[in-house]
Amino acid sequence: MLKLIETVNNTVNNFVWGIPMLVLLVGVGILMTVLTRVFQLSHIKHWFQNTLGSIFTDRHITKHTEKGDRSISQFQSLCTALAATIGTGNIVGVATALCMGGPGAIFWMWVVAFFGMMTNFSENVLGIYYRRKNTEGEWSGGAMYYLRDGLGSRKHMKYVGAGLAVLFSVFCLLASFGIGNMSQINSIAINMDQAFHLPRLVTGIVLMLIAALVILGGIKRIASVTEKLVPFMAIAYIAGTLIICGVNYQMIVPAFVSIFRGAFHLKAAGGGLVGSGIKLALTWGMKRGVFSNEAGLGSSVMVHSSSNVKEPVRQGMWGIFEVFADTIVVCTLTAFTMLTSGLVNLNTGAVVSASEDSALVGEAFGKVFGSWGPAFIAIALLLFAFSTVLGWSHYGTKAFEYLFGEKATVIYKVVFVVFIVCGATMSLDLAWDLSDTFNGLMAIPNLIGVLALSPSVYRITRNYVNRKIKNKKEKPMLSAFPDIQAAQEKDLTDSD
């Protein structure tokens, strides 16, 4: 049975993650970059000020909502989204990309991230614009809603939009058990076993119990945990990687050279070839890049839509920052930690260590921090991966809610928590392959929706830029629904 699952999954995976799919992912990002006039660069000062900068200057960004309010703060939505994106992809995924695609894979991760910023921006803009409140008073948004209410509102597209919304929800539900659960828990269990000789089953049971306490409490409890966990784990990991790069500073420039050579399969000094060829570098860089930052999947928009924000573009800018922090900062530092530590031959691109995946990063840390290095990575992976499980539990809950209603979501949460034990004891390769497959299947209906609704993203973005940056007087575009538009517009006026 397991062999049959592996065969079917490999067939689907090869189809889903073929070159056409990767071209579609990057192509949508390029289109949105052009339509928004390279917003991620042309307005970089503005979106930095209104994301990272606003955390320290605007109390409304971090202020918790009232007890009866089911929405969460903008900072909590970011932390929950980052909790879901900063996971094994930032450690195991980067190491796998280097091993399979050579240093050039890192360049293609950057490319995916640059254009992925605007894909994630567009998803979040549409998520806020088409979100609704459920019967519990909680915001519900995501690709399923802008597919049904956005694409579905177009002429002759009602059933197409509704059908794609159901497909996305089903794929998201399956993906939540793959990328959001089993692959994360599997990596934790293996590393805890290697670092501390803790049986994988024990790890699974302990994590299942902790996850149950958080996940069954709903989005506000998840957000409360992630807003404390994410800043701590990110700062600690970034500090560790910066120390290693600082110690090996003389290797930074050669590492950059190796990345660019490998990306285009150029010959190195002495005639050696960097990496395994441009196709492998491109494919693995893009696959692991998308796995890491999730731009194009339509996943993080579900938690961003739970924010108490009024402006769709404001939440879109948090989406840009999310991809920037995940891939441009964390993944890049992971890559340079390995490249500058002598674990990769920078002339040939070959890995010269017997270690694999997270153990490769642990070895790089061990060269500077000694025996504490692998232990640090095991703990970092524990925090990164477990926070991803918390974030993805919300995504799966929203998909389940769309398909079966709010009252049925407790069934999903219980099953999701039980699957944590399964993830701890299953095959690592199968866990990652399942994750890649479900990722790709999620992306297809979502990218169709973003492409079809790209004119709406353009109009909403232009409206925001005219009002907030060019100081023109225009009626704000806040929601596709008149009643929500009126309420949000009133709140916006009152806050101003």
pLDDT recorded at residue 285: 72
Q: With residue 416 as reference, give the H or E element that holds it.
A: helix 409-425
* The amino acid at 68: G
What span, in angstroms and rounded, lies between the C-alpha atoms of 295 and 282? 17
Query: Which whole-number Å values give the CA distances from 424 to 93, 109, 137, 323, 419, in the listed order?
Result: 18, 28, 35, 28, 9
Domains present along the chain, CATH in parentheses? 17-471 (1.20.1740)
DSSP annotation of 180: I
Helix ranges, 102-218 (H): 104-129, 143-145, 158-177, 183-196, 200-215
Q: Cα–Cα distance between 392 and 382 in angstroms, integer? A: 15
What is the full per-residue pLDDT of the chain (496 aa) written as tens digits?
A: 445 545 555 555 555 556 677 778 888 999 999 999 999 999 999 998 888 777 776 666 656 555 655 556 666 766 666 666 666 677 777 887 787 778 888 888 898 889 999 999 999 999 999 998 887 777 888 899 999 999 999 988 999 999 999 999 998 888 888 778 887 888 788 778 877 888 888 888 999 999 898 888 877 788 788 778 777 888 888 899 999 999 998 999 999 988 888 877 654 444 444 444 566 666 667 766 666 667 788 888 888 888 888 899 999 998 898 899 888 898 899 999 989 988 887 877 777 777 666 678 888 888 888 888 888 888 887 888 888 888 888 888 989 999 998 888 899 999 999 988 888 877 656 656 666 677 678 888 999 999 999 999 999 999 999 999 999 989 999 999 999 899 888 877 756 5
